[in-house]
Every structure is written in structure tokens, then in C-alpha cells.
């Protein structure tokens, strides 16, 4: 130890991972940030400073699309937080009940949508909700709610919420599993001590278990945040790159795709695309920082 | 155990909620599968009925086999997924071993550097990745996808595997060193077999997102020869929108491989998630 010669084996062990990771992930990430400061004039790349961002936030045509996509993205995230995570916690709380039978079966079955690709999920729900096929209206008719039916995916007011709920349907398995795992680590003694003090049933959940699984809920929230703010596939599979009807389901991922890759009559613009990617990067970074420094460090963790 | 915990009414309510949610989770999949085996008329007449002798039809599957190159798509997905997993596991384990086994200057910094990618999605860098692949001539090759997925999977793999490798006994490795084994032999012959369960967890975590990804195949390898199953079914369904038999059959064929993988690996996956590998 302490010899000055280079330990080649350490380099050999580290090199492949570091090279691939640096070349394919880190350098392109910074290159994308850098590209957002350039533009193309007569097939030549010229430096324009923050001009692209000025266009993105200042030019009426761009800023309207950007704020629309960002607002939709926040709504998409809020639906996940309000629907996906509570359902996940509820299912996990029921599943973790020690005397529940068939819990392995329920877990496996409820996780199935999570493994399906967005293409399958998007089209399957599109078919089911379609007025042509009539499964959704038929089923609503059967329970006397037929008049309630609307082609939810085709209406501007409802399509984004519908897609968010489809995404919730797909991913509810992840919070369920993580909370389930957290609930299993709570020692029986603590629950029994609560019972001695008369804290049982729902009260035990709210007063003992919920505070103990808060760190897991924090992790799920940040995973949901990062996942939602670079979502793309479901919207693309169900509504196409134009995120119809009338851009009402446009989120940052589809907006960036259209901008840098081009669609129909609009030519792709990698520099504006990079500007949008940089904005997404900033949003995700802010979210992660709020979580790491604002939430995670303040959360009380208990050691058993 | 007190009364509230095994109250039969509560138990029935618990099963009721779980069964209701299981039905919600499985209903769309079942509807797609049963209707893919029905004739066009039967699909519309009674969408919820099982196919019977009269309504049974495989016309959708025939269209899929005649029109789409699903075997090629399947093969591409298979090559991309297996190769990416191989590189993620090999490179990830090697880096994890270096970080957990040796003390050297910059160790912690290197660990943090590699962990950055856990939280930052690789999609943010897509514009520059596409440019890189165009410049290196890798666009529309499976290598482009394999490289991207390897880079995407490495951060979490290094993180999980190095946690695990810290638990491998030092005595074992030192015994190997006294016997004159090289560091490489120690890694491949002694350490790798011991961390196999963690490798399986990493593999299962990476497998499904790679198989299901639509973004990178769409951007980096949209050519007919390199389409993955996910992109291939997306394009196929887009073209055959009005041919319901074909769409339903294509969806069923896309569901099948993931379901098979899930049935094989579900215990590993669920154990991986619940053992706290992603905390």
C-alpha cells in the first residue's frame, strides 16, 4: 500500500463503466445545454447566447406552447400525487395485513399493468374508451349511468385528465410495492405497544404506521416527479406527437420531441429543442434539490 | 392479536377492495386478449364475450404475420435488451467492485459522479445523443440503443451492486490473494458468483424499461431493419387503425413476451423491490 505506481487493475475495473457513462450520458447532457446557446444560420452554427430562451419565453408563439405544456405537465403530476399515491398506500396497507390470504396473488396481479409498454396501455384504453367500440358506454349503460358517457379522450377539457388517470392505472403498482415494503419493516412490538394504549385499526394506521412510512412516501413523490416531467411515451402512443385534441395533452416531453425532431410541416430545430431540454433539466433539478435539501433532511427517520 | 385485527367484516372489506382493484388492473388486458381471437362482427356485437365456435377467428393474427415483420422486431428487442443487460451487469459490477474494494484518491467523488445519473433522466440529453450517433454513423443501428441503455442502467447498477459487494467477506478475498490469485481472478471467480442475487435484481429492474422504451427507438433507430417490438407495434397499429382484428392481435402479441418474462421473473422483481434495493 502507499506505493506511487499506478494500480492498473483499478483503472481497468472502472474504465468501461466510466467511459460509456461519460460519453453517452454526461457529455451529451452538457452538450445539450451548450447547444441551447446556438442557432443555425445558412447551415452554420452560430453562438447567440440566451436568444433561444428569450424566444421560448418571450415570443408569443413559443411561450404559449411552452406554458401550456408546463401547465399540463403540472396537472399530470398533481393527478398522480392525488390519485396514484393514495391508492397505492391504501392497497399496500391492506396487503400488509398479517392475516390476509392470497396477498401474493393480489400483488402480482395488480403489478401487471406496470410491466406493459405505453403503446399497449395507450391503445388498449383508447379502444376501450372509444365510442365506436362501445365497451365504456355499454358498461356505463349497464349500471344506469349511460348518459354520463363522453368520448373523454377526444374532448379538450377531459383528455389530459383521462390520460393522467390511465397513467395512474399503469403505475399504481410501484407506490404499492414500495409502501408495502416499508410497512413490512415496522416491528410488531411498536404496533403491540400501541394496542396496549388503545391505538388500533385506523388509528394505528394514521398515528403509528403513516409517520413511519413518510420517508418512503417522499421517495415515491420524487420518483413520480422525475418520471412525470420526462414523460412522453403514453401521450405519443395515445394522441400522437401533436398531443391532440388541439394540444390539450401536450406536455414537455411531446413539446420537446416536436420541436427538435420536427413534425408534419414544421422542421426540426435542435437548438430550440435543446433550450426546451435545458428548461426540463432545470425543472427536474429544482424538484430533486427541493426533495434532497428541503424534505429528506428534515424528515425524521426511525431506527429499529 | 386483538379483535380488531381479525374482524371478519374488515377481512371481507379488504378482499372486496383488493378484488375490485385486481379486476380494474386486469380488465383491459383481458378484453384485448379475448377480442383478438374473435371475428370482426363478434368484436363489435359483444365485446365482453369469450370467443366461441362461431365467433372464433384468427384473421387478425394472419394480417399481423403477413404485413408486419414481427419476428424481426422481436429479435431486435431481444438483442437490444440482452446485450444492454450484459453490459450493464458486467461494467456495473466491475465499477462497483473497484469502488467498494479499493481505497484510492477520488473514490467517493467517483461514486457520486456515477450516482448522478440515478436522478437525472438520460432523455434530457437526447438532442446531443442523436448528434453523436449521427456523427459516429451509429444511427439506425442496434448499437446506438445498446449504448444508450447501458449508460442509462449503469448508475443504479453501480449503486446497488457496490452496496452488496461491501458485504462480501474480506477474508475470502485475502485468502485468494495469499493463494496468488490476481485481482481479476478474485473478481470473476470469487466475488461475482456471490453477488448473483443482486445482479438478478439489477437485471430485472432494467429489463422492463428497456424492452418497453419508445423514445430512443423512435429517435435513434426508426429504420425498418432496427425497429424494436415496441416501436414496431406502435407503427403497425398506426397504419392499421381501422383494422380492429389486426390491432387487437398486434397488441396481444406485444403483451405476450412481457407477460412471459414477468411470470418467470415476478418473484425476483417483487423481492428486489421489497428488499429495499431502490431506497
d(C-alpha B32, C-alpha B221), whole Å: 28
pLDDT of A302 reads 67
Distance from CA of A16 to the nearest CA of B (A): 6
Quick check: A23 and B151 CB within 8 A? yes
Reported confidence tier of residue B277, pLDDT bands at 50, 70, 90: very low
Quick check: B91 and A100 CB within 8 A? no
Q: Which residue has the higher pLDDT, B254 or B133?
A: B133
pLDDT of B35 reads 87
pLDDT of B93 reads 95
**Nearest chain A Cα to B265, which residue?**
A108
Distance from CA of A274 to the nearest CA of B (A): 6
Quick check: B25 and A169 CB within 8 A? yes
Give the count of alpha carbons within 13 A of B103, CB side only. Answer: 3
Is A151 a residue whose pLDDT tops 50? yes
Quick check: B47 and A138 CB within 8 A? yes
pTM score: 0.89
Report how many domains make up chain A: 1
Reported confidence tier of residue B6, pLDDT bands at 50, 70, 90: low
Contacts of B1 in chain A (CB under 8 A): 99
pLDDT of A212 reads 87
Is residue A3 in a domain? no
Q: Residue B233 burial (CB < 10 Å; 0-12/13-18/19+)?
A: buried
Instruction: Return the residue matching grid coordinates 367500440.
Output: A133
pLDDT of B89 reads 96
End-to-end CA distance of chain B, in Å?
31
Quick check: B274 and A118 CB within 8 A? no
Note down the domain range covering A222.
Answer: 59-296
d(C-alpha A260, C-alpha B27), whole Å: 37
Q: Which residue has the higher pLDDT, B159 or A141?
A: B159
pLDDT of A68 reads 93
B56-112 pLDDT, tens digit each: 888 888 888 887 788 899 999 999 999 999 999 999 999 999 999 898 888 999 999
Mean predicted lDDT score pLDDT of chain B: 87
d(C-alpha B165, C-alpha B270), whole Å: 21
Mean predicted lDDT score pLDDT of chain A: 87
Domains of chain B in start order, with CATH, are 3-62 (no CATH), 68-239 (1.10.3720.10)
- What the block records as the C-alpha cell of A37 is 446557446
pLDDT of A98 reads 79
What are the distances in angstroms from CA A77 to CA A71, A240, A252, A289?
A: 10, 20, 12, 17
H-only helix segments in chain A: 8-21, 27-35, 51-58, 60-79, 85-95, 103-115, 118-129, 135-142, 159-171, 173-184, 188-196, 201-204, 210-229, 233-239, 252-261, 270-289
d(C-alpha A236, C-alpha B231), whole Å: 11
Q: Which residue has the higher pLDDT, A279 or B45?
A: A279
Interface contacts A/B by beta carbons within 8 Å? 264
Reported confidence tier of residue A232, pLDDT bands at 50, 70, 90: very high
Reported confidence tier of residue A304, pLDDT bands at 50, 70, 90: low
Is residue A110 in a domain? yes
pLDDT of B122 reads 93
Contacts of B25 in chain A (CB under 8 A): 109-110, 112-113, 169, 172
Neighbour count for residue A144 (Cβ, 10 Å):
8
End-to-end CA distance of chain A, in Å?
38
Reported confidence tier of residue A128, pLDDT bands at 50, 70, 90: confident
Phi and psi for B104 in degrees, rounded to 5? -145, 165
Is A7 a residue whose pLDDT tops 50? yes
Maximum pairwise Cα distance, chain A: 82
Quick check: B233 and A120 CB within 8 A? yes
Peptide bond into B233 cis (omega under 30): no
d(C-alpha A39, C-alpha B123), whole Å: 21
Question: Is the separation of the CB atoms in B98 and B184 below 8 Å?
Answer: no
**DSSP notation for A111-171:** HHHHHS-HHHHHHHHHHHH-TTT-HHHHHHHHTT-GGG---GGGSTTTHHHHHHHHHHHHH
pLDDT of A141 reads 80
Contacts of B117 in chain A (CB under 8 A): 21, 25-26
Is residue A85 in a domain? yes
Is residue A247 in a domain? yes
Instruction: Return the residue matching grid coordinates 411561450.
Output: A63
Q: Calculate mean pLDDT across residues B200-204.
A: 84
Quick check: B22 and A111 CB within 8 A? no
How large a percentage of chain B has pLDDT more than 70? 95
Q: Which of B6, B18, B127 sits opposite A35 (nearest CB)?
A: B127
Is B204 a residue whose pLDDT tops 90? no
Distance from CA of B272 to the nearest CA of A (A): 10
Tell me the sheet residues that pair with A77.
Answer: none
Tell me the sheet residues that pair with A39.
Answer: A46
* Poorest-pLDDT segment among B83-97, B152-166, B253-267: B253-267
B213-250 pLDDT, tens digit each: 999 999 999 999 999 999 998 888 888 877 888 888 88
Find the CATH number of the domain harbouring A259: 1.10.3720.10
H-only helix segments in B69-185: 70-101, 107-119, 126-135, 142-165, 170-178, 183-185
Q: Which residue has the higher pLDDT, B182 or A99?
A: B182
Instruction: Return the residue matching grid coordinates 435513434.
Output: B220
d(C-alpha B69, C-alpha B232), whole Å: 8
Contacts of A94 in chain B (CB under 8 A): 14, 17-18
Quick check: B125 and A177 CB within 8 A? no
Is residue A24 in a domain? no
Question: Is the separation of the CB atoms in B151 and B122 below 8 Å?
Answer: yes
Tell me the sheet residues that pair with A40.
Answer: A45
Q: Calculate mean pLDDT across residues A241-270.
A: 86
- Listed by number, the residues of chain A in 46-85 with a beta carbon closer than 8 Å to a beta carbon of chain B are none
pLDDT of B2 reads 44
Is A88 a residue whose pLDDT tops 50? yes
Residues near A277 by beta carbon (within 8 Å), at least 6 away in sequence: A32, A33, A36, A256, A260, B124, B125, B126, B127
Q: Which residue has the higher pLDDT, A77 or A2?
A: A77
Is B275 a residue whose pLDDT tops 70? no
Is B48 a residue whose pLDDT tops 70? yes
Quick check: B32 and A119 CB within 8 A? no
Highest mean predicted confidence (pLDDT) among A113-127, A185-199, B132-146, B238-252: B132-146
Reported confidence tier of residue B9, pLDDT bands at 50, 70, 90: confident
DSSP tag of A106: H
Is residue A7 in a domain? no
**Nearest chain B Cα to A269, which residue?**
B127
Is residue A139 in a domain? yes
**DSSP notation for B115-132:** HHHHHS-GGGGHHHHHHH
pLDDT of B3 reads 43
pLDDT of B113 reads 93
How large a percentage of chain A has pLDDT more than 90? 41
pLDDT of A100 reads 84
How large a percentage of chain B has pLDDT more than 90? 43
Residues near B131 by beta carbon (within 8 Å), at least 6 away in sequence: A28, A31, A35, A270
Tell me the sheet residues that pair with A263.
Answer: A266
Quick check: A97 and B5 CB within 8 A? yes
Q: Which of B147, B244, B275 sits opposite A24 (nearest CB)?
A: B147
Question: Is the separation of the CB atoms in A247 and A235 below 8 Å?
Answer: no
Distance from CA of A252 to the nearest CA of B (A): 11
Is residue A201 in a domain? yes
- Listed by number, the residues of chain A in 98-157 with a beta carbon closer than 8 Å to a beta carbon of chain B are 98-100, 102, 106-121, 123-125, 127-128, 133-135, 138
Amino acid at each position: 500500500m502507499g506505493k506511487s505506481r499506478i494500480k492498473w487493475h483499478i483503472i481497468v475495473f472502472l474504465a468501461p463503466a466510466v467511459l460509456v457513462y461519460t460519453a453517452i450520458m454526461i457529455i451529451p447532457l452538457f452538450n445539450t445545454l451548450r447547444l441551447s446557446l446556438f442557432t443555425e444560420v445558412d447551415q452554420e452554427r452560430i453562438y447567440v447566447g440566451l436568444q433561444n430562451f428569450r424566444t421560448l419565453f418571450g415570443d408569443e408563439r413559443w411561450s404559449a406552447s411552452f406554458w401550456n405544456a408546463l401547465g399540463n405537465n403540472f396537472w399530470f403530476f398533481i393527478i398522480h400525487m392525488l390519485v396514484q399515491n393514495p391508492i397505492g398506500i391504501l392497497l399496500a396497507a391492506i396487503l400488509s395485513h398479517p392475516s390476509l390470504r392470497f396477498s401474493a396473488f393480489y400483488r402480482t396481479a395488480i403489478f401487471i399493468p406496470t410491466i406493459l409498454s405505453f403503446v399497449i396501455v395507450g391503445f388498449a384504453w383508447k379502444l376501450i374508451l372509444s365510442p365506436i367500440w362501445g365497451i365504456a358506454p355499454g358498461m356505463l349503460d349497464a349500471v344506469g349511468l349511460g348518459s354520463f358517457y363522453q368520448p373523454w379522450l377526444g374532448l379538450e377539457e377531459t383528455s389530459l385528465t383521462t390520460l393522467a388517470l390511465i397513467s395512474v392505472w399503469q403505475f399504481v403498482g410501484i407506490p404499492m410495492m414500495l409502501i408495502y415494503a416499508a410497512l413490512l419493516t415496522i416491528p410488531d412490538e411498536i404496533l403491540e405497544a400501541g394496542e396496549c394504549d388503545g391505538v388500533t385499526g385506523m388509528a394505528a394506521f394514521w398515528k403509528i404506521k403513516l409517520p413511519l412510512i413518510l420517508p418512503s412516501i417522499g421517495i415515491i413523490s420524487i420518483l413520480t416527479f422525475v418520471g412525470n416531467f420526462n414523460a412522453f411515451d403514453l401521450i405519443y402512443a395515445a394522441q400522437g406527437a401533436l398531443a391532440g385534441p388541439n394540444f390539450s395533452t401536450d406536455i414537455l416531453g411531446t413539446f420537446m420531441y416536436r420541436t427538435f425532431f420536427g413534425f408534419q410541416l414544421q422542421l426540426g430545430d435542435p437548438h430550440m429543442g435543446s433550450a426546451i431540454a435545458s428548461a426540463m433539466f432545470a425543472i427536474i433539478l429544482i424538484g430533486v434539490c427541493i426533495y434532497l435539501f428541503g424534505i429528506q433532511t428534515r424528515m425524521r427517520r426511525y431506527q429499529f | 392479536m386483538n379483535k380488531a385485527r381479525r374482524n371478519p367484516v374488515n377481512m371481507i372489506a379488504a378482499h372486496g377492495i383488493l378484488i375490485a382493484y385486481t379486476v380494474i388492473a386486469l380488465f383491459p388486458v383481458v378484453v384485448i386478449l379475448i377480442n383478438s381471437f374473435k371475428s370482426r362482427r363478434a368484436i363489435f356485437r359483444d365485446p365482453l364475450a369469450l370467443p366461441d365456435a362461431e365467433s372464433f377467428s384468427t384473421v387478425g393474427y394472419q394480417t399481423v404475420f403477413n404485413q408486419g415483420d414481427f419476428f424481426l422486431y422481436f429479435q431486435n428487442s431481444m438483442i437490444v435488451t440482452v446485450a444492454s443487460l450484459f453490459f450493464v451487469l458486467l461494467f456495473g459490477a466491475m465499477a462497483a467492485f473497484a469502488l467498494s474494494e479499493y481505497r484510492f484518491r477520488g473514490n467517493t467523488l467517483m461514486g457520486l459522479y456515477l450516482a448522478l445519473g440515478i436522478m437525472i433522466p438520460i432523455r434530457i440529453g437526447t438532442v446531443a445523443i442523436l448528434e453523436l450517433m449521427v456523427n459516429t454513423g451509429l444511427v439506425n443501428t442496434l448499437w446506438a440503443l445498446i449504448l444508450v441503455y447501458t449508460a442509462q442502467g449503469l448508475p443504479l447498477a453501480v449503486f446497488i451492486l457496490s452496496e452488496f459487494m461491501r458485504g462480501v467477506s474480506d477474508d475470502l478475498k485475502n485468502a485468494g490473494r495469499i493463494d496468488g490469485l490476481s485481482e481479476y481472478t478474485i473478481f470473476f471467480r470469487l466475488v461475482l458468483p456471490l453477488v448473483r442475487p443482486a445482479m438478478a435484481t439489477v437485471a430485472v429492474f432494467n429489463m422492463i424499461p428497456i424492452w418497453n422504451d419508445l423514445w430512443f427507438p423512435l429517435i435513434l433507430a426508426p429504420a425498418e431493419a432496427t425497429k424494436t417490438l415496441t416501436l414496431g407495434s406502435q407503427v403497425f397499429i398506426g397504419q392499421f387503425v381501422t383494422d380492429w382484428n389486426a390491432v387487437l392481435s398486434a397488441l396481444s402479441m406485444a403483451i405476450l413476451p412481457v407477460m412471459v418474462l414477468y411470470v418467470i421473473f415476478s418473484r425476483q422483481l417483487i423481492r428486489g423491490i421489497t428488499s429495499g434495493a431502490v431506497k
